[in-house]
Amino acid sequence: MLYLKRCAARLESGMDPEINYCSVCGAKVSHKVPAGDSLPRHVCDACQTIHYRNPKLVVGAMPIWGDQVLLCRRAIEPRYGKWTLPAGFMENDESVAAAALRETLEEACARVALGDVSTMISLPHISQVHVFYRAELLDLDFAPGEETIELRLFREDEIPWDEIAFRTVQLTLEHYFADRREGQYRFRTLELEPRE
Amino acid sequence: MLYLKRCAARLESGMDPEINYCSVCGAKVSHKVPAGDSLPRHVCDACQTIHYRNPKLVVGAMPIWGDQVLLCRRAIEPRYGKWTLPAGFMENDESVAAAALRETLEEACARVALGDVSTMISLPHISQVHVFYRAELLDLDFAPGEETIELRLFREDEIPWDEIAFRTVQLTLEHYFADRREGQYRFRTLELEPRE
């Protein structure tokens, strides 16, 4: 549960832990613009390591079964009880596609065949990029993972639009249904501002 | 120069600095699987912070002028002297598109109008994802940035294929020229294994 709480806190804030000490040598760090750089970084004056911070990829899948989409009701904060697509932080040593498959298996215990990428959405205010694949659900043997209360297949007119956990999920679903009506699926790159 | 050397070292290894100490409180960290997690992480036993590591996004642009593409000859390691597209690590607080524009300005002092994303290429062995946009070069007032020896516009038959710095750049160029011949540009997600 500690892990889940920490994951939730990270997802909500999008922030890495503070950098007060050098993770290499343990000395105090300064926050300054390194020579030749243009942005302030956390720099260790003892061992010279520069501790960069970079945006994180959140990767997910939209599991499709006929005219229905599989959504997960969240068992964790943020947005406890709201509906989402299976998605999570990409891990080191995996590909974007592998991350989408892993998250779908972890959160929905579901096996999918990935299609094309549907959306890549930048959230600069929390230093995240969300990437969603369209995916074909291979069977109906799905089951809630540890972070999921329940799973359900929704037709377009059943989607609980007011109960969707994240704007990137809502946009991905909206574009999917719009493209389906047009009969042509497109890849979209979008950028979201902070909520009002 | 220190910064440039460190950037080069990071790009080459794709590795973050070691984690021996907690960046929050300065205590020694353990490497273990946190409760509820499935992968080993660097965990601080003093303040409980989990220090996650995640893949990094490298973002770039393919600046196009008529039937020519602008390439940069690298003034830094790795691949000093080889040709590349303007690209680099995405920063916190920016969008993917903003990163592509910034890198193009920094490395080629070039102004472009971004088109669609051309490639998203996973390199799981170095925990990176490379994303390249097609881009229209807006004028010919480009000039080498600090990390660039020289810039040149190349027609397809002039591209120095044996002197391209990175496989992701080579693939992005190859797909662009193939798509141009077909008259239809596609977005591709790819995955690369380590070099032999």
pLDDT tens for B142-180 read: 999 999 999 999 999 999 999 999 999 999 999 999 999
- HSE-CB at B20 with a 13 A cutoff on CA atoms is 8
Q: Are residues B161 and B85 in the same domain?
A: yes
- Whether the pLDDT of residue A186 is over 60: the answer is yes
Q: What is the mean pLDDT of residues A162-190?
A: 98
Chain B closest-CA separation from residue A117 CA (Å): 8
pLDDT tens for A133-144 read: 999 999 999 999
Inside any domain, residue B136: yes
* Model confidence band, residue B3 (pLDDT cutoffs 50, 70, 90): very low
| pLDDT, mean over chain A | 93
Q: Are residues A113 and A155 in the same domain?
A: yes
- The shortest CB-CB distance from A36 to any of B3, B89, B97 is to B3
Mutation target for B interface from A7, A189, A191, A193: give the one with most B CBs within 10 A: A189
Report the distance separating Cα A23 and Cα B45, nearest Å.
14
DSSP per-residue string spanning B37-64 = -SS-EEEETTT--EE----EEEEEEEEE
Residue A93: CB atoms within 10 A of its CB come to: 13
Closest listed residue to residue B135, CA positions, set B83, B68, B194, B84: B68
Q: Are residues A117 and A84 in the same domain?
A: yes
Chain A closest-CA separation from residue B62 CA (Å): 17
- The shortest CB-CB distance from B124 to any of A16, A18, A95 is to A95
**ipTM here:** 0.92
Inside any domain, residue A158: yes
User: Residues A60, A132: contact at Cβ < 8 Å?
Assistant: yes
Inside any domain, residue A196: no
Q: Count how many domains chain A has.
A: 2
Chain B closest-CA separation from residue A111 CA (Å): 19
Domain that holds residue A88: 56-191
Chain A closest-CA separation from residue B105 CA (Å): 13
Report the distance separating Cα B172 and Cα A11, nearest Å.
32
Report the distance separating Cα B32 and Cα B192, nearest Å.
29
Alpha-helical (H) ranges within B62-135 are 96-108
Contact A187 B116 (CB under 8 A): yes
Q: Cβ contacts (< 8 Å) between B129 and chain A: which residues?
A: 57, 90, 96
Inside any domain, residue B196: no
pLDDT-wise least confident of A136-145, B13-22, B184-193: B13-22
What pLDDT does A195 receive?
85
Q: Are residues A73 and A47 in the same domain?
A: no
Q: Are residues B136 and B75 in the same domain?
A: yes
- The shortest CB-CB distance from A2 to any of B36, B146, B187 is to B36
pLDDT tens for A146-161 read: 999 999 999 999 999 9
* Model confidence band, residue B115 (pLDDT cutoffs 50, 70, 90): very high
Q: What is the pTM of this model?
A: 0.92
Report the distance separating Cα B128 and Cα B22, nearest Å.
24
Contact A1 B91 (CB under 8 A): no
Residue A147: CB atoms within 10 A of its CB come to: 20
What pLDDT does B2 receive?
44
What the block records as the tokens of A141 is 């043997």
Q: What percent of chain A has pLDDT over 70?
A: 92
Closest listed residue to residue A101, CA positions, set A90, A91, A92, A112: A112
Q: Are residues B33 and B70 in the same domain?
A: no
Q: Are residues B42 and B18 in the same domain?
A: yes
Q: Are residues B47 and B102 in the same domain?
A: no
* Model confidence band, residue A4 (pLDDT cutoffs 50, 70, 90): very low
Contact B127 A92 (CB under 8 A): yes
Residue of B nearest to A186 (CA): B187
Domain boundary among A12, A34, A51: A51
Q: Cβ contacts (< 8 Å) between A52 and chain B: which residues?
A: 10, 16, 89
Report the distance separating Cα B29 and Cα B191, nearest Å.
33
Report the distance separating Cα B135 and Cα B105, nearest Å.
12
Bond before A160 cis per omega within 30 degrees? no
What pLDDT does A72 receive?
98
Q: What is the mean pLDDT of residues B177-190?
A: 98
Task: Look at chain B and count its residues.
Answer: 196
Q: What percent of chain A has pLDDT over 90?
A: 88
Q: Are residues A39 and A60 in the same domain?
A: no
* Model confidence band, residue B15 (pLDDT cutoffs 50, 70, 90): low
Q: Which residues contact A39 (CB under 8 A, 6 or more apart)?
A: A33, B91
> What CATH number did the domain enclosing B6 receive?
2.20.70.10
Inside any domain, residue A62: yes
What pLDDT does A15 receive?
67
Q: Are residues A72 and A45 in the same domain?
A: no
pLDDT tens for B44-103 read: 999 999 999 999 999 999 999 999 999 999 999 999 999 999 999 999 999 999 999 999
Closest listed residue to residue B90, CA positions, set B133, B57, B131: B57
Q: What phi, psi does B171 have (nearest 5°)?
A: -65, -40
Inside any domain, residue B44: yes
pLDDT tens for A53-72 read: 999 999 999 999 999 999 99
What the block records as the tokens of B179 is 């798509």
Q: Are residues B36 and B85 in the same domain?
A: no
CA-derived radius of gyration, chain A: 19
Q: Are residues B42 and B112 in the same domain?
A: no
pLDDT tens for A13-29 read: 446 888 999 999 999 99
Chain B closest-CA separation from residue A187 CA (Å): 8
